[in-house]
Chain A
């Protein structure tokens, strides 16, 4: 079986743009990018499903707080990610398998760092 990648849920307005503008697009191969219109769309069940299906981890990449085009999407996402991590803890899994970060569309370098980190830890 093919080894599954970390799933990166990206907000179309911020982190996805940062991903599109990566100077080294090959970094994107480290993760499975799933574009969401806004992180407000992210569902706890969907994140858990990713882990259930064998993805080693989930990255939730939204825009900086107070910078959500849809006003409250990232705030809601923060709460939902908190709950996912709590559930993981209860299930006995490492909570850090689900991580959240806030990237603007200009933060390609930060995204690159995150992706490089993933590549390194996998190597």
Chain B
């Protein structure tokens, strides 16, 4: 899933304080699962904003709604009137949802309430961790199912940097060294020999570096 965290309250407040009528729009998919932008968080943010406005004497009318997904057109139907009636939309979706909502409603100001972080997994409730960097050329087959691009701070393809110690990354002691994980896994799989192969330079053009991504599949195109 796509993970996100809420922006600092002050940043959100300054973003929306002059909006007049604001619709806070939640998203019921990834950001609900990562507890950042589901119906509950919409309610919490709305209440907090109302309290802050009252405290600071600004007048902001706040409505709340949550749809299944903000990355698909059809789900917006039930909230169309609400969006059109608002001066601005504070989207609690990931960056995709914010932009898509903005695209759908021309001339409407759509603001992000979240900072979109990464593709990750719920390690345990309250702890999410990155697994994929969306590079567009998956190499997981070569590394025992542990991605060096996403899980090594330097995306090193040919082994760990000198900084890894006790299985932890030099950048953050809370993060496992991706290469330690690769090594452990490959050794458990009996594939250590293949770590000797020199990995050629990577084609980054399939990812962010190749420009905005686009997939076209004619077989499924209508």
Q: Which A residues are closer than 8 A to B by beta carbons?
A: 43-45, 48-49, 51-52, 87-88, 90-93
A92 touches B44 (CB 8 A): no
B43 touches A45 (CB 8 A): yes
CB distance from B47 to the nearest CB of A (A): 4
B55 touches A45 (CB 8 A): no
CB distance from B210 to the nearest CB of A (A): 40
Which of B10, B44, B55, B56 interacts with A87 by CB under 8 Å?
B44
Q: Which B residues are closer than 8 A to A by beta carbons?
A: 8-10, 40, 43-44, 47-52, 55-56
Known: A52-B47, A87-B9. A45 touches B40 (CB 8 A): yes
**New A-B contacts (4) at CB < 8 Å, excluding given A91-B52, A92-B56:** A45-B44, A90-B8, A91-B51, A93-B55
Chain B residue with minimal CB distance to A54?
B54
CB distance from B173 to the nearest CB of A (A): 24
Bound Cα distance A18, B138 (Å): 61
Residues of B contacting A51 in the complex (Cβ-Cβ under 8 angstroms): 47, 51
Bound Cα distance A45, B48 (Å): 9
B51 touches A88 (CB 8 A): yes
A45 touches B47 (CB 8 A): yes
Residues of A contacting B55 in the complex (Cβ-Cβ under 8 angstroms): 91-93
Chain B residue with minimal CB distance to A84?
B44
Residues of B contacting A93 in the complex (Cβ-Cβ under 8 angstroms): 51-52, 55
Please report whether the interface of chain A is mostly helix, strand, loop or mixed according to DSSP.
helix
16 A-B pairs whose Cβ atoms sit less than 8 Å apart in the complex: A44-B44, A45-B40, A45-B43, A48-B44, A48-B48, A49-B43, A52-B47, A87-B48, A88-B51, A90-B8, A90-B48, A90-B52, A92-B52, A92-B56, A93-B51, A93-B55
CB distance from B76 to the nearest CB of A (A): 24
Bound Cα distance A89, B8 (Å): 12
Bound Cα distance A63, B5 (Å): 32
CB distance from B127 to the nearest CB of A (A): 14
Bound Cα distance A49, B50 (Å): 10
Bound Cα distance A41, B182 (Å): 42
Bound Cα distance A91, B55 (Å): 8
Residues of B contacting A91 in the complex (Cβ-Cβ under 8 angstroms): 9, 48-49, 51-52, 55
- Please provide the 7 A-B residue pairs with the shortest distance between their CB atoms, ordered closest to farther: A48-B47, A91-B52, A90-B9, A45-B43, A92-B55, A91-B51, A87-B48
Residues of B contacting A52 in the complex (Cβ-Cβ under 8 angstroms): 47, 50-51
Residues of A contacting B48 in the complex (Cβ-Cβ under 8 angstroms): 48, 87-88, 90-91
Bound Cα distance A45, B45 (Å): 9
Bound Cα distance A92, B49 (Å): 10
Residues of A contacting B49 in the complex (Cβ-Cβ under 8 angstroms): 91
CB distance from A92 to the nearest CB of B (A): 5
Residues of A contacting B50 in the complex (Cβ-Cβ under 8 angstroms): 52
Bound Cα distance A46, B28 (Å): 20
CB distance from B41 to the nearest CB of A (A): 9
Query: Which of the listed residues B48, B49, B50, B55 has the most CB atoms from chain A within 10 Å of its own CB?
Result: B48
Residues of A contacting B56 in the complex (Cβ-Cβ under 8 angstroms): 92
Bound Cα distance A106, B40 (Å): 35
